[in-house]
Amino acid sequence: MTPKRNKPERRRVAAVVAVAADGAIGRGGALLCHLPADLKHFKQLTLGHSIVMGRRTFDSLPHGALPGRQNIVVTRNPHFAAPGVTVAHDIDAALAAATLPGEVMVIGGAQLYAATLDRVDTLYLTRLHATFPDADAHFPPIDPAQWEVADEEFHPADERNPCDYTFVTLCRKA
Ligand SMILES: NC(=O)c1ccc[n+]([C@@H]2O[C@H](COP(=O)([O-])OP(=O)(O)OC[C@H]3O[C@@H](n4cnc5c(N)ncnc54)[C@H](OP(=O)(O)O)[C@@H]3O)[C@@H](O)[C@H]2O)c1
């Protein structure tokens, strides 16, 4: 009898993104606006997880690798190295390199979201109720037929957060 091989379990993949009403996510290599409530939300979602990001997003981090998470940076540059970073040279290698339990979280930017959206099971969106016509980085279109809303929480702008925003969790329909 041939011994049964256990199939490796497919890791669940999530994407975390702050996306404006016009699909914008960034401009000039930076985020669209400073929204402290979203930074806090991002930290809560990603702490303890393996996070996957494009090299440009890594370059935009003010203090390098984000603490308390496995930082996996995707680049085609064979010489790229940075403290606290796991380097991967394609998307498959990036997802396979994740060592921490739970969802592997893709945290941007536009190229990485576009390259991984097909594999994403859960989308953690911060919908910014604003538009940014001068943005140069966008999230790929989300087909509403493929997703169901698992959670939704609206917050009005306040003295620290310049626009209204909604935290939305979308799960891919079976
Ligand atoms: N709103 C949000 O939630 C959010 C989140 C993250 C980022 N952002 C914004 O998004 C913008 C950056 O996005 P971006 O699209 O310009 O850059 P990106 O996706 O962060 O990084 C692109 C880089 O990743 C590498 N890469 C991409 N696909 C690859 C593949 N298939 N195989 C190997 N390497 C690959 C390449 O690096 P090399 O050039 O080194 O080869 C490429 O130049 C910034 O404005 C940032 O602030 C927004």
Beta carbon of 29 within 6 Å of any ligand 1 atom: yes
129, 163 Cβ separation under 8 angstroms: yes
Average pLDDT, the chain: 95
* Euclidean distance between CA atoms 14 and 121, whole angstroms: 6
pLDDT at 63 over 80: yes
Question: What are the phi and psi torsion angles at 96 (to 5°)?
Answer: -70, -25
pLDDT bracket for residue 7 (50, 70, 90):
low
Q: Which amino acid is at 98?
A: A
Beta carbon of 111 within 6 Å of any ligand 1 atom: yes
pLDDT on residue 10: 82
Residue 25 host element (H or E) = strand 24-27
pLDDT on residue 27: 97
In the numeric block, which tokens belong to residue 34? 């400073």
Beta carbon of 60 within 6 Å of any ligand 1 atom: yes
Q: Whose CA is nearest to atom 34 of ligand 1?
A: 75
pLDDT at 45 over 60: yes
In the numeric block, which tokens belong to residue 88? 């991967």
pLDDT on residue 47: 98
Residues 64-80 have pLDDT tens digits of 999 999 999 999 999 99
Instruction: Tell me the CA–centroid distance for residue 57 and ligand 1, in Å.
Output: 5
CA 147 to chain centroid, in Å, comes to 17
Instruction: Tell me the CA–centroid distance for residue 29 and ligand 1, in Å.
Output: 9
Structural domains present in the chain = 13-172 (3.40.430.10)
Atom of ligand 1 nearest to the CA of 115: 31
* Euclidean distance between CA atoms 138 and 91, whole angstroms: 19
pLDDT at 164 over 70: yes
Q: Quick count: other Cβ atoms within 10 Å of Cβ 96?
A: 14
Q: What is the four-CA torsion angle of 27, 32, 33, 35, rounded to 10 degrees?
A: -140
The pairing of beta strand 122-128 with beta strand 165-172? antiparallel
Which residue from 27, 106, 111 has its CB within 8 A of the most atoms of ligand 1, so it is best to mutate?
111
